[in-house]
Structure 1
Amino acid sequence: MQRNNNYKIAQIIPYFGKWPEWIELYLYSCGKNPMVDFIFYTNCPLPKHQYKNTIFHQCSYNDYCNLINKRLNIDFHCKKPYKLTDLKPFIGIIHESELKEYDFWGMGDLDLIYGNLGMIINDTTLNKYDVITTHNYHIAGHCCFCRNNEYYRNLCFKIKNWKQKITNEQAMSIDEGEWSDLVCPYIKTIRRIHKYLFKPLGIHYFKVLDALNPIFHTKILLHEYWTSPQPKENQNWSYNISTNRIITPSQIELPYLHFLFFKKTPWLKTNLYWQNGFWTLHKPIESYNNILINIKGIIEQ
């Protein structure tokens, strides 16, 4: 895969605690997408393998909190680093100086692996859209890219009572909630149109979104890629190491696969989730040919 020639893109991820077991696989998939620089602020040890586009700034959680306080002029010292998920909309302003040379900035998570991000990040989409994400009903906090301009850097400050909300110990999903509503101001209108006009006719909400989003949100690419599936038994997602392609059980290619519902999660009541021993890959990632991801674990095919 070639680096995008016309745009520079960065995704900044602050992560503190302990790397997930699949970190080497995740980073390998980052390295296969050179159109994006993946920048990490972390207190975790440097991984075994680093790539030209994986950049690490080692610092303590307290150091990063001090950076937040300096850039936002607040007093942020939440006890649990998970609270940083609520600061994703503020990444563009917190790291403004670091992002000066970039045309787009992004937010992301580590509980996924990337396939070919060129499916969504390419000259065509970057020319046309100011925001690119992989859901059609709200911004996907685990993968979103925004044009690096004053509007999107500062949109976070329009969140009502933002200082109180981001310094509250409770995680509030601000990225996919209030900030998403600011980025996509007509989603609520589309929801009402569906409720009163199309739902009585049996037309699915997503069909209405796909029809009206391009009309109401002309500069925002809101496309549902089904990257966060709810896996069932005997379903396999495959990741080809050499071609960097992720294929679903129905043989559709994905730009990435989000592990949200493979793990135990409060968002879904089920007994189907990864148990101890789900991670079975102990050789260097590049030594494998094809990897399967299913409800039992991450295994070599």
Structure 2
Amino acid sequence: MNKIIMIIPYFGKLPDYFPFFLKSAEYNTDIDFLLITDNNIKTSYKNIKIYKTTFKRLKERIQKKFDFKIELSQPYKLVDYKPTYGLVFHDIIYSYDFWGYCDIDQIFGKISNFLPNNIENFDKLFRLGHFTLYKNTLQNNKRFMSPIGMNYKDVFTSRTIFVFDEIEGIEKKYELLGIPRYNKHDFADISFRYHQLRRVYKGVSTSKLNQYPNTYYWIRGDFISNFCKKWKHRKKRTFIYTFSKKKFRRRYINNRK
């Protein structure tokens, strides 16, 4: 069985929905989550690893990997440094077969159910910054330095957010290099622009994605989409439910969150 670790730096006040993210991560007991933060996070689950530090110290750790002065004056700029984490945190993750990064504005289903059986054949899995995996080899961890595609030095010396962790950045590099990738889309990305739960995905019409009304629920590690198709009730398990910028209320049933 492949060992996988997700690397998640987060500094500053945690959002109200963080407990939902954390609970769904805890239920993925076969995957480790390394939370690099200045927050005091309590959990009894062994797959949740807390690395307590400051943003300044993290910047110093990243700077040591480069022979030029990097620009990292605010935590949000970390989105451009995500592809470097395999190199930056090698001393922590060296024993893992795959490492990755993800955002915290989401709730996980059972992640391993959506990974390919031949995962060893891929050097990179998934193309969006809210969840990406990489094979943990030195060669692969240095691929962001390839001169093909977006230049990492231009990215790391500018205050501009290039979104290097996504399609036009690191994903385009792997595409141009012809590196084996796995890009099946099993996410439910929810738009914040609508009151109702409406999925969105770049390159796919919103009407096509939402032709069948959906409700979503999470139960004991499973995230399930309920919908009606041709007058029949259907269920579909979902990998990730992402709700970036979506406002919602927490409800309590029988005094349980």
TM bucket, shorter chain: 0.7 to 0.9
Corresponding residue of 1:168? 158
What amino acid is the match of 1:279? R
Corresponding residue of 1:258? 242
- SS of 1:172's equivalent? coil
Structure 2 distance, partners of 1:77, 1:181, is 23
Match of 1:152 among 131, 134, 140: 140
What amino acid is the match of 1:58? K
Say yes or no: does 1:70 pair with 2:51: no
Aligned-residue identity in percent: 23
Structure 2 distance, partners of 1:27, 1:237, is 22
Structure 2 distance, partners of 1:178, 1:248, is 31
Runs of 4+ in 1 over 6 A off after TM superposition: 282-285
Say yes or no: does 1:128 pair with 2:121: yes
**Equivalent residues, number:** 230
- SS of 2:119's equivalent? helix
Structure 2 distance, partners of 1:50, 1:284, is 23
Contact 1:22–1:279 (CA under 8 A) maintained in structure 2: no
Contact 2:187–2:239 (CA under 8 A) maintained in structure 1: no
Q: For residues 166-209 of structure 1, what are the alpha-carbon distances to aligned partners after superposition, in whole Å with 9 as ceiling and x for unaligned?
A: 232221101112211112228xxxxxxxxxxxxxxxxxxxxxxx
Say yes or no: does 1:45 pair with 2:6: no
The structure richer in helix per residue is 1
Structure 2 distance, partners of 1:171, 1:75, is 17
Note the C-alpha offset of 1:72.
2.6
Contact 2:217–2:225 (CA under 8 A) maintained in structure 1: no
Corresponding residue of 2:224? 247
- SS of 2:64's equivalent? helix
Corresponding residue of 2:209? none
Structure 1 distance, partners of 2:226, 2:191, is 12
- SS of 2:133's equivalent? strand
Alignment of 1:97-246 (within 5 A): 97-121=91-115, 124-133=117-126, 139-158=127-146, 160-176=150-166, 177-185=168-176, 219-230=180-191, 232-235=194-197, 237-242=215-220, 244-246=221-223
Structure 1 portions without partners, runs of 5+: 1-5, 134-138, 187-215, 264-272, 289-301
Note the C-alpha offset of 1:15.
1.0
Closer, same or farther: CA 156–127 of 1 in aligned 2, 3 Å: closer
- Superposition TM-score, scaled by structure 2 size: 0.80
Corresponding residue of 1:210? none
What amino acid is the match of 1:253? R
The structure richer in strand per residue is 2
- SS of 2:25's equivalent? helix
Structure 1 distance, partners of 2:68, 2:36, is 20
Note the C-alpha offset of 1:282.
6.6
Structure 1 distance, partners of 2:17, 2:59, is 26
Corresponding residue of 2:205? none
Q: For residues 122-141 of structure 1, what are the alpha-carbon distances to aligned partners after superposition, in whole Å with 9 as ceiling and x for unaligned?
A: 6x1423333221xxxxx111
What value does the CA root-mean-square deviation take over the aligned residues? Answer: 2.5
Note the C-alpha offset of 1:227.
2.4
What amino acid is the match of 1:163? K
Closer, same or farther: CA 148–255 of 1 in aligned 2, 3 Å: same
Note the C-alpha offset of 1:164.
3.1
Closer, same or farther: CA 153–256 of 1 in aligned 2, 3 Å: same
Corresponding residue of 1:280? 250
What amino acid is the match of 1:37? D
Say yes or no: does 1:33 pair with 2:33: no
Alignment of 1:17-32 (within 5 A): 17-32=12-27
What amino acid is the match of 2:125? I
Closer, same or farther: CA 59–141 of 1 in aligned 2, 3 Å: same
Contact 2:21–2:106 (CA under 8 A) maintained in structure 1: yes
Note the C-alpha offset of 1:220.
1.5
Closer, same or farther: CA 75–284 of 1 in aligned 2, 3 Å: farther
